């Protein structure tokens, strides 16, 4: 106390032979000291919670369709288990999502991609199937399903080349030797749905994108011969250790198939067994002979 008094240049205590009591300056010092101790205790509790995975922050990048359709139930479950962990979702195109996780800007990424940068850990968590979306009055409305070869000569509304969907569709049509009619391109999911519903052509979309097009009066018909599916993956950089909270979210994504989470139509969770590790991912792409 004498050192404190010497440093501050004030008396903290009034001392007599019979008692010691705080001065007015001393009372102010004690109030400040109590606030500092309370803040220190709160900081320790926060660090303890962070180490246990019950506090802190998690960031995840995802394709827009995955952020809007696949992740919400998972993140709601996560928030219910860890209400004090903040979650940031950054949506973007496939290459943008990969860049975010590669640079360390996010903890995890959920995306669809044929290959990923070397060294990233990749695990499949879900699969979605492609369907044909058809405007009113189109002849496909009367069918229960559509064969890919039936798209020959059809006017078509396509996602532009920046979309991960386009690669799957183009490859399937090319492998089958199918040539479309007049093609109208758009980047945004809503724009594709609106253009198709206006009669500019049929379109093709995977299961996790279809719910985002539900505002438009389009009829959904499964595409067969072949059935084409995409692998949905969770990706992280093993060179950057994940926090307890991020690990908990990753585990929740990997185990989502065992939870009571209902995926949308034409989407299914993948069982935890037999998932690839690091390096390249082989997409489902075309599945000849199925359907």
Residue 288 has a pLDDT of 35
Question: What is the three-class DSSP state of 160?
Answer: coil
Residue 18 has a pLDDT of 73
- Residue 290 maps to a domain: no
Domain extent at residue 35: 2-51
pLDDT tens-digit readout, 108-122: 999 987 667 788 999
Residue 183 has a pLDDT of 97
Question: What is the three-class DSSP state of 141?
Answer: helix
pLDDT tens-digit readout, 204-232: 999 999 999 999 999 999 999 999 999 99
> Do residues 90 and 158 both lie within one domain?
no
Return the H-helix or E-strand segment holding 7: helix 2-8
List 126's β-bridge partners, or say none: 232, 269
H helices of 116-208, in order, are 164-176, 189-195
> Do residues 112 and 88 both lie within one domain?
yes
- Residue 291 maps to a domain: no
List 202's β-bridge partners, or say none: 156
Residue 10 has a pLDDT of 73
Residue 47 has a pLDDT of 53
**Quick one: which of 23, 24, 7 has its CA closest to 15?**
23
> Do residues 64 and 12 both lie within one domain?
no
Residue 28 has a pLDDT of 76
> Do residues 191 and 258 both lie within one domain?
no
Tokens of 72: 């919400």
- Residue 289 maps to a domain: no
User: Where residue 250 sits, what CATH number does that domain have?
Assistant: 3.40.190.10
The residues near 237 (Cβ < 8 Å, ≥ 6 apart) are 101, 102, 104, 119, 120, 121
H helices of 9-133, in order, are 24-52, 64-65, 71-81, 94-103
Q: Is the dihedral of CA 253, 259, 264, 270 positive or negative?
A: positive
Tokens of 263: 């995926």
Instruction: Please state, in angstroms and rounded to a whole number, the distance separating the CA atoms of residues 183 and 159.
Output: 10
Which of 45-54, 81-90, 267-276 holds the top average pLDDT?
A: 81-90
CB 66 within 8 A of CB 111: yes
């Amino acid at each position: 106390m004498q050192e404190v008094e010497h440093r501050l240049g004030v008396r903290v205590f009034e001392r007599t032979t019979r008692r010691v009591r705080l001065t007015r300056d001393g009372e102010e010092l004690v109030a400040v000291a109590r606030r500092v101790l309370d803040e220190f205790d709160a900081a320790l509790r926060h660090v303890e919670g962070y180490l246990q995975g019950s506090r802190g922050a998690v960031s995840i990048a995802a394709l827009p369709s995955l952020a809007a359709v696949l992740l919400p139930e998972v993140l709601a479950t996560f928030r219910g288990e860890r209400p004090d962990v903040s979650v940031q979702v950054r949506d973007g195109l496939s290459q943008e999502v990969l860049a975010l996780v590669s640079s360390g800007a996010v903890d995890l990424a959920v995306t669809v991609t044929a290959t990923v940068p070397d060294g990233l850990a990749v695990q499949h968590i879900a699969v979605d199937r492609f369907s044909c979306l058809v405007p009113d009055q189109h002849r496909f409305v009367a069918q229960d399903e559509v064969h890919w070869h039936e798209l020959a000569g059809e006017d078509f509304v396509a996602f532009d080349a920046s979309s991960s969907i386009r690669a799957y569709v183009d490859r399937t049509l090319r492998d089958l030797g199918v040539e479309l009619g007049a093609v109208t391109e758009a980047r945004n999911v809503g724009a594709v749905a609106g253009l198709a519903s206006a009669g500019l052509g049929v379109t093709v979309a995977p299961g996790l994108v279809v719910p985002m097009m539900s505002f438009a009066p389009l009829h959904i018909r499964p595409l067969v011969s072949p059935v084409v599916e995409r692998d949905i993956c969770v990706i992280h950089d093993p060179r950057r250790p994940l926090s307890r909270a991020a690990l908990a979210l990753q585990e929740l994504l990997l185990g989502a198939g065992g939870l009571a989470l209902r995926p949308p139509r034409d989407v299914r969770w993948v069982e935890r067994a037999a998932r690839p590790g690091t390096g390249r991912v082989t997409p489902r792409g075309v599945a000849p002979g199925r359907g």
